[in-house]
Structure formats: C-alpha cells, structure tokens
Amino acid sequence: MLGRSHHAAVAVEAIVAFPKAVRFDVVAMVREPFAEDESVERQPWGGTSIAFHCMWPPYDPGPGFVRFGVRFSDGTRFDNLTHQSGGGGSGGPTYGRGEFWVTQTPTPGPVSLFVQWDAVDIPEQSIDVDGESIRAACARSVTPWTE
C-alpha cells in the first residue's frame, strides 16, 4: 500500500525490470464512484475519472489526478506530471490502473515511491523499496531481440 485515506487507496501492483528501464504498475481505488459535480479530473472528452496521465500542458491536471513518482537515492526524481513516461492505463468508476516507465535503472541505494491524490485527501506519502533488488532484476532481464 503506497497511500490511503478514508475514501481511497493507491498501491503498486508490480515492479517490472528491463535491461535499461523499470515499469511500475499502479492501481488507485475509491470506495464510491465520483459524482459528476465533484471536483475531479475533467478529461478533454468531458468525462470524470481517476487519472494517471494528463495532457499537461495545456490542461491543468486538476485534483482528481493521481500523482505518482519514483525517487532514486542520488536524488533523481521521476513523476507522472513532469516526466511524461508513456505507458498504458485502464479503469472504471471505482478504480484506475496506470503504467509508469522510468527509462533508467536505479542508482545504488533505496528507491522511494511516492503518491499524492488531492481529491481524496491523500497528501504526498512515500515508501522505500529495495533498490538493489530492482537493479539485480534489471541485470538478469533479457532483451527479446538482439538485432
């Protein structure tokens, strides 16, 4: 569990290692669906949803935006507001899933994962995970094609 409040929770479901990158699979859940009149993420197509990706700029991410990020022990920081990482996502009325890619392997030391979700009263919260395990998994991973 990465962060939670009375209304919602955010967790990292998986950390997937590649030779030169790491993907973090994140899920956010709410107890009740957002009402149309609540101050949640207004997508350019008009709907409300739990959002991991935004079109910033020009669209303000808004309070329904689930900010997720990674901080290496050397201070290098990636997050889904300032570091557009690509990745996919899916969701429904009470959950959202997002993939967050970091295009380098962690530096030695712990890796901090953080979340902030203003719409459901989750201030920035973080946990540390074992960076050496992630680095070792990256070193063991295999590139599918060598050409």
Residue ranges and CATH numbers for the domains of the chain are 3-140 (2.60.40)
Query: Average model confidence (pLDDT) for the chain?
Result: 82
Burial class from Cβ neighbours inside 10 Å (0-12, 13-18, 19+) for residue 87 reads: middle
Q: What is the pLDDT of residues 18-45, one digit of tens each?
A: 999 999 999 999 888 766 654 444 444 3
Q: Got the DSSP string for the chain?
A: --EE-SSEEEEEEEEEEETTEEEEEEEEEESSPPPTTSS--B-TTS-B--BS---TTTS---TTB-EEEEEETTS-EEETTTS-----EEE-SSEEEEEEEESSPPPSS-EEEEEEEGGGTEEEEEEEE-HHHHHHHHHH---S---
Q: What is the pLDDT of residues 75-90, one digit of tens each?
A: 999 988 776 566 667 7
Q: Tell me the pLDDT band of 13, cut-offs 50, 70 and 90.
A: very high
CA distance 19 to 17: 7
pLDDT at residue 125 is higher than 90: yes
Q: Mention every residue, 6+ apart, whose C-beta is less than 8 A from residue 84.
A: 53
* Contact between residue 103 and residue 85 where contact means Cβ atoms under 8 Å apart: yes
pLDDT of residue 85: 61
CA distance 108 to 131: 7
Higher pLDDT pick, 5 / 57 = 5
pLDDT of residue 112: 97
Give me the mean pLDDT over the 52-57 stretch: 59
